[in-house]
Amino acid sequence: MIWNVWLKRSIIWMLSILSLLAIATSVTANAPMPTSLSWLKFDSSSKLQGVQISQCQGENCQQLVLLKQYGTCDRSGCIKSVPKLDHRKPLNLDCADNLCLVALSPFYDKKDLDPNQIRFIAQLADRVSVSKVFPLRDRQPNKFTVTVKDKILEISPNSEEKITQSSLFKNLALFFLILTLGVELGIWAGYLRWRKVESAEIRLTIISLLIVHIFSFPIVWFSFPGLEHFTSDGNRFGGLTWLGFSILYGIILSLHSIWAKRSFSRRVVVGSIAYWLGAAVITLLFTALLGYGSPVPSADGLSEPMAIFASEVFVVGYEAWIVQRLRRETLSIKIALGISLIANAGSCLLGLAFTLLS
């Protein structure tokens, strides 16, 4: 009887997800003309200190007018004036490390801005360099490598350059899901067999691990990548929404394990799946709604290495917490943390090795 109820609820949730995706597609189709984005990756060992966007005036670009500035550009070769578009939005400039994003709105005043007469000025640790005229509008591809040659910035198209540092866009999620599950389940099962735990207990622990991974895997591949540089508002707040739901699930599970006679039961499994489906629907909705109307990602956030490290530290504790709550009769939090640390370190190192070798 309970499985029939669960099946009906699952069908309802899936239909809800499909409806939300249809709405999101319709909203996207009716969105206004998008902002033009140009990604500039500075190929230089010197640290990027500041970037200026200037506009040519007069014949042969005799004069440069400063439009936007990021960071510090105060040495010889920089334009020392207040940016003309400092507090206005038709043109935006944001940088993180040696990656910059230039966003040009389709709604700009032609008296103030001519996208076809743009020059970049960059101050690095050892020099100030200037580019040739670089038209911004309707650039395809929109990813460029900036090579610094003495005092000249050479900007060349690079369709292979990543536009984001987020591992969310690496198209390896399915492979790493299988790799993570294989390595971590193997380590947990190996430890329990070494301790001569009964087969029934090993099976329940494996099921507990499968439950926790439907929450923890999106945390690693969605929540923490959403905190990286140049992540869209939709992905950033959607990732935080999923992180919040995952923590709330742990709290609810902890309370249940205190009050219930048995911490693990069929009701817990069905309830966990239903909760996951509901959280997924709401997270998708938040991602679509918060992402609409804010196509320009911000440079605020963590670097990719920091985001990976933070996600791994969080997941070690999270998985140990959830598994221990589900198997509290036979598993202490200290042992759960130890096995979780070894299992996650093993899957992470194997994944990094595969990435470096591929």
**Mean pLDDT (whole number) for 40-68:** 87
Across 13-27, 91-105, 149-163, 212-226, least confident range: 13-27
What is the predicted pLDDT for the residue at 166? 44
What is the predicted pLDDT for the residue at 20? 52
Tokens standing for 90? 């038709």
SS (H, E, C) the chain: CHHHHHHHHHHHHHHHHHHHHHHHHHHHHCCCCCCEEEEEEEECCCCEEEEEEEEEECHHHCEEEEEEEEECCCCCCCCCCCCCCCCCCCEEEEEECCEEEEEECCCCCCCCCCHHHEEEEEEECCCEEEECCCCCCCCCCCEEEEEEECCEEEEEECCCCCCCCCHHHCCCHHHHHHHHHHHHHHHHHHHHHHCCCCHHHHHHHHHHHHHHHHHHHHHHHHHCHHHECCECHHHHHHHHHHHHHHHHHHHHHHHHHHHCCCCCCHHHHHHHHHHHHHHHHHHHHHHHHHHCCCCCCECCCECHHHHHHHHHHHHHHHHHHHHHHHCCCCCCHHHHHHHHHHHHHHHHHHHHHHHHHC
What is the predicted pLDDT for the residue at 26? 47
**Mean pLDDT (whole number) for 76-93:** 85
> Which of 88-92, 163-167, 202-206, 232-236 shows the highest mean pLDDT?
202-206
Residue length of the chain: 358
Q: Is the pLDDT of residue 249 over 80?
A: yes
What is the predicted pLDDT for the residue at 8? 53
pLDDT greater at residue 173 or residue 120:
120
Across 30-44, 78-92, 117-131, 217-231, least confident range: 30-44
> Which of 90-99, 257-266, 273-282 shows the highest mean pLDDT?
273-282
Tokens standing for 32? 């206004």
**Mean pLDDT (whole number) for 114-124:** 91
In terms of C-beta density within 10 A (0-12 exposed, 13-18 middle, 19 or more buried), how is residue 198 classed?
exposed
Q: Omega into 225 within 30° of 0, i.e. cis?
A: no
Q: Is the pLDDT of residue 169 over 80?
A: no
Model confidence pLDDT, tens digit, residues 62-77: 788 999 999 999 998 8
What is the predicted pLDDT for the residue at 277? 94
In terms of C-beta density within 10 A (0-12 exposed, 13-18 middle, 19 or more buried), how is residue 158 classed?
middle
- Give residue 332's pLDDT band: very low, low, confident or very high (50, 70, 90): very high
**Mean pLDDT (whole number) for 256-266:** 84
Tokens standing for 48? 């990027």
Query: Residue type at 260?
Result: A
* % pLDDT > 90, the chain: 46
Q: Who's near 139: CB < 8 A, 6+ residues apart?
A: 36, 38
**Mean pLDDT (whole number) for 122-129:** 91
**Mean pLDDT (whole number) for 226-255:** 93
- Give residue 141's pLDDT band: very low, low, confident or very high (50, 70, 90): low
Q: Is the pLDDT of residue 215 over 60?
A: yes
Helix axes 233-259, 199-218, angle to 10 degrees: 150
Across 2-11, 49-58, 181-190, 335-344, least confident range: 2-11
Q: Is the pLDDT of residue 171 over 60?
A: no
Query: Which among 173, 221, 209 is positioned nearest to 331, based on CA atoms?
Result: 209
**Mean pLDDT (whole number) for 105-125:** 87
- Give residue 194's pLDDT band: very low, low, confident or very high (50, 70, 90): very high
Mean pLDDT estimate for the chain: 83
- Give residue 159's pLDDT band: very low, low, confident or very high (50, 70, 90): low
Alpha carbon separation from 165 to 10, 104, 142, 149, 234 (Å, rounded): 35, 21, 16, 25, 16
Q: Is the pLDDT of residue 165 over 60?
A: no
Q: What is the value of pTM for the model shown?
A: 0.80
What is the predicted pLDDT for the residue at 172? 61
